[in-house]
Amino acid sequence: MNKQEVILCTHLADNLSQAIARIPHDRLFLLTDVHTHALCLPLLREVEALGEAEEIIIGAEDVNKTLDTLAQVWTALSTQGASRKSLLINLGGGMLTDLGGFAASTFKRGIAFINIPTTLLAMVDAAVGGKTGINFNGLKNEIGCFSPAESVLLETQFLRTLDAPNIYSGYAEMLKHGLISTPEHLNELLAFDLGQINYEQLKHLVGHSVKVKEEIVTNDPHEHGIRKALNLGHTVGHAFESLALAENRPVLHGYAVAWGLVCELYLSYVTTGFPKEILQQVIYFVRRVYGPFLFTCKHYEQLYELMKHDKKNSNGVINFTLLKGIGDIALNQHANQKLIFETFDFFRESMGI
């Protein structure tokens, strides 16, 4: 997998114009959703190259990360004359960059694409690292492939268009990056004031967070080893997310990850000796920023079954990424049903449910 170019923008219009110019193409296409078309596209009006781009607009949010929407993008590319030499620009959050990247990677066996993530979650996670895909059969990201964008342009001015929950959602992935990197970075993240956001400081934190992910992805692009570190919080988090979707009370991905971090750090504390004081710091932060995920003991079996469908599993054994300490990663860890249910008990108690 080729290494993608990640650009922390100094001037979005110039950076995008240069990125487009570096990629030979016959036709240019721009994928947006109904929100980014209205709120984010105006920031690109001075990009002369986009004047000839064909825009494809899809529905917003994760409920549209489906095979039907994917087919809609394929159909638009086909009917509007896209060829194997065309270029697709994905302007949107993680749902759109995942789906748009997968559409580009499969249309005519693959066309080039550029990601311009517009949410914090997409900037630090979805748009970087080459994972693309859609939800399928009630499961998150069940269908997809590894395919990096030619360029990823990070413009933190887009974050001013986000509401607080979407900022918090992306911040959970940054918190994960702090946990798998250094105490200094984690402390910086825990101390940041999400109530009164300093966007210049946030830009610095985004740059640092993306570097953590980039270094891991460069060393293990197809997730055979250390890239599994990026799954911290996701085994339980995806189960929470799927349960919420099944009960028609969808939650933002980052919220599910934050709740998953509490559970998996508890598993880390019990099985690998992760420091209790850091676990308590993270619990306090998650409880204050994200609140609880509501479920009862009646949901335990369903959550356990959802975890058994996780892509990281082998032979039906649930696979966790855990930590011995900050940056001290324990891959391919396992826990039996009894301990997982104990973890759910701990989560509900620590979140005040």
Same domain, 209 and 294: yes
The answer to whether the beta carbons of residues 254 and 169 sit under 8 Å apart is: yes
Query: What integer pLDDT is reported at residue 33 of this predicted model?
Result: 98
Give the domain CATH number at 222.
1.20.1090.10
Residue 264 reports pLDDT greater than 60: yes
Same domain, 138 and 194: no
Residue 89 reports pLDDT greater than 70: yes
Same domain, 282 and 233: yes
Task: Please list, in sequence order, all residues whose beta carbon lies within 8 angstroms of the beta carbon of residue 124, skipping any fewer than 6 positions away.
Answer: 170, 173, 174, 177, 206, 209, 210, 213
pLDDT band at 139 (very low <50, low <70, confident <90, very high): confident
Of all residues in the chain, what percent carry a pLDDT higher than 90? Answer: 83
Last residue of one domain, picked from the residues 143, 161, 179: 161
pLDDT band at 240 (very low <50, low <70, confident <90, very high): very high
In this structure, is the dihedral angle defined by the CA atoms of residues 225, 254, 196 and 281, taken in order, positive or negative?
negative
Residue 310 reports pLDDT greater than 80: no
pLDDT band at 313 (very low <50, low <70, confident <90, very high): confident
Task: State phi, psi for 280 to the nearest 5 degrees.
Answer: -65, -40
Same domain, 203 and 333: yes
Residue 314 reports pLDDT greater than 80: no
Q: Which of 60-69, 131-140, 226-235, 264-273 has the lowest mean pLDDT?
A: 131-140
Query: What integer pLDDT is reported at residue 299 of this predicted model?
Result: 98
pLDDT band at 172 (very low <50, low <70, confident <90, very high): very high
Same domain, 33 and 58: yes
Query: What integer pLDDT is reported at residue 168 of this predicted model?
Result: 97
Residue 2 reports pLDDT greater than 70: no
Residue 124 DSSP code: I
pLDDT band at 224 (very low <50, low <70, confident <90, very high): confident
Q: 143 has which bridge partners?
A: 134
Last residue of one domain, picked from the residues 118, 133, 161: 161
Supply the range of the domain harboring residue 90. Answer: 5-161
pLDDT band at 1 (very low <50, low <70, confident <90, very high): low
Q: Give ∠ CA 66-71-73 in degrees, rounded to 5.
A: 100
How many domains does the chain contain in total? 2
Residue 193 reports pLDDT greater than 90: yes
Same domain, 235 and 111: no
Same domain, 128 and 244: no
Same domain, 114 and 239: no
The span from the CA of 104 to the CA of 111, in Å, is 5
Same domain, 31 and 99: yes
Same domain, 74 and 131: yes
Nearest in space to 333 (alpha carbons), one of 286, 281, 271: 271
Residue 50 reports pLDDT greater than 60: yes
Last residue of one domain, picked from the residues 107, 127, 161: 161
Residue 316 reports pLDDT greater than 80: no
Give the domain CATH number at 113.
3.40.50.1970
Same domain, 88 and 21: yes
**Any alpha helices (H) in 225-275, and if so which ranges?**
234-246, 253-272
The span from the CA of 268 to the CA of 290, in Å, is 21
Same domain, 124 and 249: no
Stretch 227-256: mean pLDDT: 94
Tokens of 309: 């469908």
- Tell me the pLDDT tens digit for each residue of 5-19: 899 998 999 999 999
Query: What integer pLDDT is reported at residue 289 of this predicted model?
Result: 97
